[in-house]
Amino acid sequence: MVSFLGEHGERLAGVARGIKKPTAKWVAAFEPLGLVRVTFFGKEQADLKRITRCDLLASPLTLGHLESSLVMACLADLFDRVAREGVEDERLYRLLSACTRALKTRPGQALGILAYAEHWLLHCLGLLPHPGACGRCGGSDAPLVLFSEEQGWCCAACTPAEGPGLLPPGVREHLRRLRTAPAEEAPPLDPADPAQQAVTALLRQRLLAELGGRLRSYEVLWRLV
């Protein structure tokens, strides 16, 4: 069973017979994030269509770049879960295309590109409030210091200075970089930037929780990177 993200952002899936044999044709076409032209056979309503042809047009794979390959697997997992069969969302295809191009040109920034994709997937799912105004008091000047399930981003003007889950300074600025940069300029991972660390962890946890918890591709990524 192989799944695809269609050009209108819908999930497509079909059965590819015999691709586990080492001599199978099209094996390269089924690597995660490959851009392919695929032909299905089967009735419109058939639950399981058969893949009769699949041609690889482009791949973001950089041979020998482990981190980039692992991130490709994570992105494939994420988009496979966010996309829905029969539901078009063109933003998904645009986002995945942009991230794939960025991975090809900057494989060394793969983890930054993954965090960028996670941010925008949360946005596409409608789970990411705009960080411009505080969700509790409406203010737009004080630093954002908390993310709450009910009120979204909350600012320092209306939030007690001590308590669980408080975020370091720079959250609004990091969110602005994620919102305004194209995928090719996704903020590189910077271990010395506590705001980036906190936002990345928060958004990742939120996205994975929404998608049903742990993903195997992420477990492999953390074991090896």
Residue number with the smallest Cβ distance to Zn ion: 134
For the record, the structure tokens of 160 come out as 């007690």
Q: How are beta strands 11-15 and 152-155 bridged, if at all?
A: unpaired
| d(C-alpha 175, C-alpha 195), whole Å | 9
Nearer to Zn ion, 116 or 153 (CB): 153
Give me the residue label for tokens 């200075």: 161
Give me the residues that bind Zn ion (CB under 5 A), please. Answer: 134, 136-137, 139, 155, 157-158
Give min distance, CB of 138 to Zn ion, in A.
7
Least distance from Zn ion to the Cβ atom of residue 57, Å = 48
- Please state the closest distance from residue 146 (CB atom) to Zn ion, in A: 9
CB 84 within 8 A of CB 11: yes
Q: How far is the CB of 82 from Zn ion (least distance, A)?
A: 30
Q: Which of 81, 82, 13, 5 is nearest to 42 (CA)?
A: 13
Q: Which is nearer to Zn ion, 125 or 137 (CB)?
A: 137
Please say which residue, 90 or 141, places its beta carbon nearer to Zn ion.
141
Nearer to Zn ion, 105 or 140 (CB): 140
- Rounded Cα–Cα distance for residues 43 and 51 (Å): 12
